[in-house]
Amino acid sequence: MTRLAPLAPAGMTPEQRAVHDIIVAGPRGQVRGPLAVWLHRPKLAATAQALGQYCRYDSSLPARLSELAILVMGQFWGAEFEWWAHKPLALKAGISAEVVEAIRTGQAPPFAHDDEAVVYAVMRALNHERKIPTPLYRQAVSVLGQDSVIDLVGLAGYYTLISMTINAFEVMPPEGTVPELAAAHGG
């Protein structure tokens, strides 16, 4: 159970309702997960959802690579809601089931594409080393291009915020969903 109940539209302030309506009218189509938490603070929700809109839908990264990066972040943080929400999107975008399972369990994924291997390596470096070592940075720019490296780092920051929000406010997938990351994180 989440620590903050979602707001019902009828009980929202005008500011909350305005942000709610923007989110619902956009590509997400609904307010759930961390967005529902942030809606308690409408200025935070408005700013964060705009960044999320860019990171998910408007960046230079194709969906396949952004969804891969999101799964890496969700797994790193043990954010069950994020994993639940993005695993099907990653599979639909073309990430193989074998790669998804390896990420879930913390194993080395069997990548068939260089761009996926580079995205994974960059995300892992940012999470574990808190930087991108120079050789990996050069490889990432060579494979992905400078714009996509910038967008990938932005996505990493945004999904750190998402994952922290999910974990801090105990945002969980719908009732009846089997947790997939708990066992991988020793929980």
Q: Over the stretch 119-168, which tens digit does the pLDDT of each residue have? A: 999 999 999 999 999 999 999 999 999 999 999 999 999 999 999 999 99
Question: Could you tell me the domains of the chain?
Answer: 9-58 (no CATH), 63-168 (1.20.1290)
Q: 146-168 vs 63-77: helix axis angle to the nearest 10?
A: 40
Please compute the mean of the pLDDT values over residues 111-120 and round it to a whole number: 97
Please compute the mean of the pLDDT values over residues 67-96 and round it to a whole number: 97
- Output the pLDDT for position 183: 60
Residues 6 or more apart whose Cβ sits within 8 Å of residue 94 = 64
Residues 6 or more apart whose Cβ sits within 8 Å of residue 100 = 71, 87, 90, 91
**Residue 20 identity:** H
Distance (Å, whole) CA 150 – CA 159: 14
Distance (Å, whole) CA 112 – CA 7: 43
pLDDT band at 5 (very low <50, low <70, confident <90, very high): confident
- Output the pLDDT for position 6: 86
* This model's pTM is above 0.85: yes
Q: Determine contact, residues 49/22, Cβ cutoff 8 Å.
A: yes
Please compute the mean of the pLDDT values over residues 27-48 and round it to a whole number: 92
- Output the pLDDT for position 151: 98
Kindly report which listed range (1-5, 9-13, 42-46, 115-119) carries the lowest average pLDDT score. 1-5
Please compute the mean of the pLDDT values over residues 48-59 and round it to a whole number: 94
Q: 107 or 6, which is more confident?
A: 107
